Amino acid sequence: MKFIFYLLIIAEISLSQSADFSFETSGCRDCDQYANGIVQRSSLWLSGSPVMDPMKNSRILIRTGLTAPIQKLDDRVWTYPDFDFGLKMTNNLAITGKIYGFSVEKDSPQVLGAGIQYFFGEKDTLDWIMSIQRIDLKGLNDFRLSSLTIDFRKWITWEPFQLRLGVGSNFFKEKSYIYNDDISPRMEGQKNYIGIDAMIHYGPLIYGIGGIFNQNISMASVFIQKDFF
């Protein structure tokens, strides 16, 4: 019964979202800037990855939660659903991925992609993590998006918390489906950021909060993780 209860909590969190991926908005003074803001926020959202403990023996991990930009867009606070999985192949290497979809407004976003996490350090202490991840966002009416993230983190234990601190870069390429003079047909860019995650174990689950901080756009997230095997 407890396991079913946890699954219900995870499903409820995953289905809660208020993002709007439409470029069309009434009264936008700079529609291209507004569209670019949607793309940049979407790309940083896709940069999130599961927090895999390099020192644990668990092979499979599932993470679900919510991500929201700290800065408002069009005077609204948006939230994006997260669902990630990780598979530890060896003591040093893990494969991560996102495969899910949801419905919001007039869109049915599809999130699809994968990445790798490599653990390294001195002797038997694998407390550094390098990750590379490519995620695509499809199923939208106004654009499609490819997001590539390169990330370096340090794993720190500060009882009762576990921390993952570091820096990263997010690269995005976007193709617009709206053809007019107000919105660019293609958008590309790079966002460098400082990243931090904090986790705590409670029962069979891991509860965490995280943040990605850029001088223009920052994201905050809450998540629940479950290890298997």
Domains of the chain: which residue ranges?
A: 2-228
Q: Are 134 and 146 in contact (CB under 8 A)?
A: yes
Look at 188 and 54; give whichever has higher pLDDT. 188
Residue whose tokens read 């234990």: 157
Q: What is the largest CA-CA distance in the chain?
A: 59
Give 102's contacts (C-beta < 8 A, 6+ positions apart). 14, 15, 17, 81, 108, 109
Residue-level pLDDT at 91: 87
* Span 122-142, pLDDT tens digits: 767 788 999 999 999 999 988
**pLDDT given for residue 25 in this prediction:** 59
Q: Helix or strand or coil: residue 47? A: coil
C-beta contacts of 181-186 below 8 A and 24+ residues apart = 182/31, 182/32, 183/23, 183/31, 183/32, 183/35, 184/32, 184/35, 184/36
Which CATH code of 3.30.70, 2.40.128, 1.10.357, 2.60.40 fits the domain covering 2-228? 2.40.128
pLDDT score for 5: 44
pLDDT given at position 183: 81
Which residue's entry shows tokens 């507004």?
34
Residue with tokens 């909060």: 209
pLDDT interval class at 43 (50, 70, 90): very high
